[in-house]
Amino acid sequence: MERLAIMGGAPVRSRPFPAWPVWDEEEIRAAEQVIRSGRWGSTAGDRVNELEKRFAAYQEAAWGIASTSGTTALRTALLACGIEYGAEVVVPAYTFVASATAALEANAVPVFCDIDPHTYNLDPRSLEAAITPRTQAIMPVHLAGLPADMDRIGQIAARHGLAVVEDACQAWGSSHRGRKVGAIGKVGAFSFQSSKHITAGEGGMLVTDDSGTARVCRSLVNCGRTESGAWHEHHLLGGNYRLTELQAAVILVQLGRYDRMLERRQEAARYLRRELSKIEGLSPLAVPDYVTATSCHLFILRYDKQAFGGLPKARFIEALNAEGIRPAHGGYYIPVNRQPLLLEKNVGPFDAIRRHVYRGRLIDYAGFDCPVAERACTDEAVWLLQNLLLADKPDLDDIVTAFARIARHFDQLLE
């Protein structure tokens, strides 16, 4: 009888999947040039400037402003929108914590809405229910690179007079009805952190079509300076959130390689979607009609443990890893509103949430009801990480074989 690898059988594969990051002599040359030039900071060199122009053009935005990370870019975006102390920012409960901490560090109050069960993106109905007279912004997250429902979000924002700040930190090259994401709303943020598709270890980028917002963002990441002002003249409470020339040089090389790799990932994702959908109890996230391109940052499946005899998700993933499918994991395992930082309001001086009244009561983050996000965290979401999507066809077949084998023999894992 065929034994699962976790039960001592031979694994489907033992070779690793392609490594991440992908780099070659070009990154080395680009970094070397910067080092030899002696112009390591953006105030002396031209690499950051060029990256801002090229990245904005790539995302079809008028302006790009580099920043140290996706997190600092999101916070800068909220500040540039003029979000006031104690104003509410609606954030989906299923995202990286930075979507919410960016709001906290802008002295705003993140409030949470649930996600759509098919796309895991912000659910517009739940969004609308979360809005109060104190709401000033909405932060859709294009999770895994899948664009959120920007038409409905835009309509809701217009009706309530809210700013839309896109968390596009997983969505380089993603597009919604033919328009690249990032500057569909007022302003958007991207990340170049190590785990992302375009990386220099760390880094971030703001994009916007609004010149006033761009001007404020540029000042906020550069110590509150203005473009025409003197070096020691500071107009806003900004910080030093400048990207370095070394980072920009590396990111420029990565950006030049991006479309080729994106096509590979998209093709792999299409193949996995088709093949894994055939397995009872596994449903890849839906791709609605308004999605015209996705970055395929992650390949997320919904695991229905009922179809696997009640086998817990964690055990299913252990079995998958044992078959040689790595990195694959369960993704976010706590909805953001249940992070200890929010439950305990451990927010240092960013204390807008301590006395905040939401719907007639002192805000209590345990009180947000986001059952879909909850289920995604505990029972449902299975993530295949980005480098798996760079694999060749036979490697992709190993992924399908491993899932199919566990689906055939899950009873070996049930006590």
Residues 6+ apart with CB under 8 A from 196: 70, 169, 170, 172, 297
Position 389: which residue type? Answer: L
Position 132: which residue type? Answer: T
x-or-dash string of contact with ligand PLP, 204-223, rule CB under 6 A = x-------------------
Q: Beta strand 88-92 with 135-138: parallel, antiparallel or unpaired?
A: parallel
Q: Please identify, among the stretches 162-170, 176-184, 208-216, 249-257, the one whose residues bind ligand PLP according to the rule CB under 6 A.
A: 162-170
How many residues in the shown chain lie near ligand PLP by CB under 6 A?
14
Alpha helices in 204-244 (DSSP H): 211-220
Q: Please identify, among the stretches 165-173, 238-246, 309-317, 395-403, the one whose residues bind ligand PLP according to the rule CB under 6 A.
A: 165-173
Nearest CA among 305, 274, 308, 316 for reference residue 375: 305
What is the DSSP annotation of 8-46?
TSPPS--SPPPPSS---HHHHHHHHHHHHHT--BTTT-S
125/332 Cα distance (integer angstroms): 23
**Is residue 386 within the footprint of ligand PLP (CB under 6 A)?**
no
**Which is nearer to ligand PLP, 170 or 294 (by Cβ)?**
170
Site for ligand PLP in 64-83 (CB under 6 A): 69-71
Q: Least CB distance from residue 228 to ligand PLP, whole Å?
A: 30
**Is residue 295 within the footprint of ligand PLP (CB under 6 A)?**
no
Q: Least CB distance from residue 379 to ligand PLP, whole Å?
A: 21
x-or-dash string of contact with ligand PLP, 115-134, rule CB under 6 A = --------------------
Q: Least CB distance from residue 181 to ligand PLP, whole Å?
A: 12
207/64 Cα distance (integer angstroms): 5
**Which is nearer to ligand PLP, 188 or 204 (by Cβ)?**
204
Residue with tokens 């190590």: 194
In the complex, which residue's CB is closest to ligand PLP? 70
| Number of Cβ within a 10 Å radius of residue 28 | 12
Site for ligand PLP in 89-108 (CB under 6 A): 95-96, 98-99
Contact residues toward ligand PLP (CB under 6 A) are 69-71, 95-96, 98-99, 141, 167, 169-170, 191, 193, 204
